[in-house]
A = this chain, B = another copy of it.
Amino acid sequence: MGSIILVTGGARSGKSAIAEGRTLSLGSPAVYVATAQAFDAEMEERIAAHRARRGDEWRTHAEPLDLCGALALTDGSPRLVDCLTLWLSNLILSERDWQAEAARLVETLGAQASPVVLVTNEVGAGIVPENRLARLFRDAAGLLNQQVAQAADEVILAVCGLPVKVK
């Protein structure tokens, strides 16, 4: 069975770099499953900066919604999913049933034959947002993180670019 590794952390905590290193340590070339969708220039810049940091050892597969489908297209290479929070946001924006999708992801992760590293975000350690949608989103993100962490063999918290072992 393939290892399932979850890397979480705040914004700019270095979680993507940690996850990339961890993925390549499991084999290369690796597949980068990008959930980001560029809606504006700021997002495009972030995506470009992420892509620029990755080298030839990566094949990129962009998939904003059907993560389970993306994980089914496997040739034995390790996969990096970056990131679950954007995936959740995409699901909610396109009015999918995120709870059903989360359950399907957990089931899919349990059936992987090659490693999957997943990046997610810590979004719940600030003051309660005044915006109701923001509150619903942070609840959903926290619940998704718990479910994936339970299914994971390893969970890492990124702090200042450094990995802290959680599981």
Q: A residues within 8 Å of B by Cβ? A: 6, 8-14, 42, 120, 122-132, 134-135, 137-139, 141-143, 145-146, 148-150, 155, 157, 159-162, 164, 166-167
Q: How many copies does the complex hold?
A: 3
Closest to A161 in B: B146
Complex Cα–Cα for A92 and B21 (A):
32
Bound Cα distance A3, B49 (Å): 33
Does A164 lie within 8 Å of B160, measured CB to CB?
Answer: no
A167, closest chain B residue (CB) = B162
Q: Are B159 and A8 in contact (CB under 8 A)?
A: yes
For the A-B complex with A6-B160, A12-B146 known, give 10 more contacts whose Cβ atoms are closer than 8 Å. Answer: A8-B160, A10-B124, A12-B124, A14-B146, A123-B128, A125-B125, A125-B126, A155-B160, A159-B166, A162-B166
